[in-house]
Structure 1
Amino acid sequence: MQGTTNDPILEVRNLRAYIGTPRGVVRAVDDVSLTIGEGQSLGVVGESGSGKSVTAKAIMGMLPRNSGCSGRILFRGRDLLALPARELRKIWGARIAMVLQDPGRSLNPVVRVERQLTEGMRRHLGVGRTEARTRALALLDEVGVPDAERRLRNYPHELSGGMRQRVMIATALACEPSLLIADEPTTALDMTVQRQILDLLRRIQRDRGMALMLISHDLAVVAGRTDRTAVMYAGRLAEVGTTRTVFAAPRHRYTHALLEAVPTIDHPRHTPLRLIPGTLPDPVDPPPGCRFGPRCTAAAAECRAPGPVMTSLGDDHRVACCVPVPSPAAQGPGGESVGR
């Protein structure tokens, strides 16, 4: 396995993405900045509608026609938003690949698996039909697809959901990308297959020394499988830090509320789970200031002011919260707060 480095492979700077709707313009992503290092894994979590998938699609140039995008997306120092289409075609699929959340819709239903696996290799790597087929068989073996020879002749509808997702992963890996974006890669899969797919992605990422962006609405998906975690809410970043820090000592009120809402094995019987009150704000007309403010039990007057901006807490930990959760060091022996 290749080691990770501090050199960034992807830098997203002040990304904004807007989507036109009959009701008005949706600010789907609003001033988001992220960094992924070489060989590093980043988990991006948040509720549905928080802007996770739109961020990924902006990186891959997959936003709908009725959308706009600004900011900078630097891949190895080159701004993808400034490159011509001819140059982008050399990057997307070859150097940055994506696993979409629904393989049933992403794979072409009338094209055999072999062609879908080999098409990218023949185009980007310039290999012949025989070599591409040999590589395709090796890829299916790598992602755990049994009887690879027969599977190459199958159509997607002849495979189970878990098998289709493995084929999707193999297709994304075909040109040996240095960055893989996995957008909700276990949607609609049962828990056993879900774990297999997630462990597979982690193993491949480590073995290949590849950078990974793992997007999910489920905190358990990124826990233990990513180096760093970014929490998004209503199109903005709420908190970014090492996965260990974000889970062990969350500072943003939204992150803390998400973790509090997760049931645990030691949860007392017959007691209700903690819920986050309210719903996501209107994306066309979001509230002023902190977008989590209307749902936050600790909201103060300053939460309605413009912002809040991301503030560094040290050790690669940043948070955008006016009234952050007290750090463990600022709590008394019984867990009570002794100051912000």
Structure 2
Amino acid sequence: MSGPAGGPPGPSEPLLVVENLKAHIGTGRGTVRAVDGVSFTVDAGAALGVVGESGSGKSVMAKAMLGLLPARSGVGGSVWFEGRDLLALDRRARSAVLGRQAAMVFQDPGRSLNPVVRIERQITEGMRRHLGLSRGRARERALGLLQEVGVSDPERRLRSYPHELSGGMRQRVMIAIALSCEPRLLIADEPTTALDVTIQRQILDLLRRVQQERNMGLILISHDLAVVAGRTDRVAVMYAGRLAEVGSTREVFAAPRHRYTEALLAATPTLDSDRHARLRIIDGSLPDPVKPLAGCRFAPRCRHADDGCRLDELLLYGVGKDHMTICRHPVASAGGGTSDARAGVARG
């Protein structure tokens, strides 16, 4: 995934290469290992979905990549983007990248937008700083962005304060801000939280459309598997700070190989589900991030786990074309076979 001796990716490499990313946060109870050795890639013009239960480390991972965690956090690994390791940049150099080449849509627009600043200034600020646009040119572009993301009466919305807009409108404004400087990479962290189902679909379809039209890389983070289905090219399943499974969205949904992915899909209702049947639940809870478990961190909740699952340090290994997992006892493939999971055990 990287160049010689761990250097930057070559010209034909993915837009984003994340290698062994770690984010450890100090607390009164001890150090929380929120992200603990995550690696993945995102191609230009492609969308990656990151899914998992709340508390699995998805949001912390995104913020760690962009250097947005609190100062007390310890972040390691590398995040190669546009030929530069974002984690190696100083604050000023990283600030020049954020908003201009890489942007993020946060979970709660009500908390992300400044409540005492009009929408116009919040959209145009980045364009004037990064693109050097005049006030008039930036305002003209802001109107076009609001129209592009489906905001009605954009002239009036520019003069509005955030509290005067609905939740769906505020989220569209956040997307307009993220798109304002033509970024190459967009990270959307739970972008439909607290929105009703109809607005959720509109926002998700909007993100996918602008991502494809602008040939951006997109990372769509969600705890809901239905959100990423049909809107991403690849999916990474995250559990307790680590990746459990990565592959094409179609293959992972059709033939999950990690027992955690299988359980998540079984707990998700479908159009074919019996309306009167109880949804399957995943017994137990996420492990204590202050005291991380060895081996597969899903083992205490998995009826297939053995001593090797609990003790061996497991690595991702291939179970199909563009499909990897860490599971020692993977779900049988459509053909009925399973790969040798022991090939994914780390050796000292």
- TM-score, normalising length: structure 1: 0.94
Give the drift of 1:302: 1.0
The residue identity in structure 1 corresponding to 2:268 is V
The residue identity in structure 2 corresponding to 1:156 is P
Q: Does 1:149 align with 2:155?
A: yes
Q: CA RMSD in A?
A: 1.6
Q: Percent of counterpart pairs with the same letter?
A: 67
The residue identity in structure 1 corresponding to 2:239 is Y
Could you say which residue in structure 1 is the equivalent of 2:126?
120
| Aligned match for 2:311, one of 305, 310, 321 | 305
Distance 2:320 2:280 in 1: 30
Could you say which residue in structure 2 is the equivalent of 1:334?
none
Q: Does 1:221 align with 2:227?
A: yes
- Aligned CA distance change for structure 1 residues 101 and 269 (closer, same or farther; 3 Å): closer
Q: Secondary structure at the match of 2:262?
A: helix
Give the drift of 1:269: 4.8
State the Cα deviation string for residues 217-237 of structure 1 (Å, max 9, x = none): 000000000000000000000
Distance 2:24 2:50 in 1: 19
Gaps of 5+ in 1: 332-336
- Aligned CA distance change for structure 1 residues 254 and 81 (closer, same or farther; 3 Å): same
Give the drift of 1:6: 6.5
Could you say which residue in structure 1 is the equivalent of 2:80?
74
Distance 1:300 1:214 in 2: 33
State the Cα deviation string for residues 84-120 of structure 1 (Å, max 9, x = none): 2221111001100000000000000000000000000
Give the drift of 1:289: 1.3
Could you say which residue in structure 1 is the equivalent of 2:94?
88
The residue identity in structure 2 corresponding to 1:31 is G
Distance 1:269 1:92 in 2: 45
Could you say which residue in structure 1 is the equivalent of 2:113?
107
- TM-score, normalising length: structure 2: 0.92
Distance 2:65 2:103 in 1: 10
The residue identity in structure 2 corresponding to 1:104 is G
Could you say which residue in structure 1 is the equivalent of 2:290?
284
Distance 2:96 2:141 in 1: 20
Give the drift of 1:243: 0.3
Could you say which residue in structure 1 is the equivalent of 2:344?
none
Q: Secondary structure at the match of 2:15?
A: strand
| Aligned match for 2:202, one of 196, 199, 219 | 196
Distance 1:87 1:286 in 2: 34
Could you say which residue in structure 2 is the equivalent of 1:318?
324
Q: Secondary structure at the match of 1:294?
A: helix
Give the drift of 1:265: 2.8
Q: Secondary structure at the match of 1:185?
A: coil
**Runs of 4+ more than 4 Å apart:** none
Distance 2:52 2:63 in 1: 16
Could you say which residue in structure 2 is the equivalent of 1:58?
64
Give the drift of 1:286: 2.2
Q: Does 1:234 align with 2:268?
A: no
Give the drift of 1:80: 0.7
Distance 1:302 1:286 in 2: 16
> Any conservation in 2 of the 1:179–1:210 contact (CA below 8 Å)?
yes
Q: Secondary structure at the match of 2:126?
A: helix
Distance 1:167 1:99 in 2: 10
Q: Does 1:9 align with 2:23?
A: no
Q: Does 1:263 align with 2:257?
A: no
State the Cα deviation string for residues 295-316 of structure 1 (Å, max 9, x = none): 0011112101232111122311
> Any conservation in 2 of the 1:6–1:38 contact (CA below 8 Å)?
no
> Any conservation in 2 of the 1:6–1:37 contact (CA below 8 Å)?
no
Q: Secondary structure at the match of 2:236?
A: strand
Q: Secondary structure at the match of 1:8?
A: coil
- Aligned CA distance change for structure 1 residues 314 and 6 (closer, same or farther; 3 Å): farther
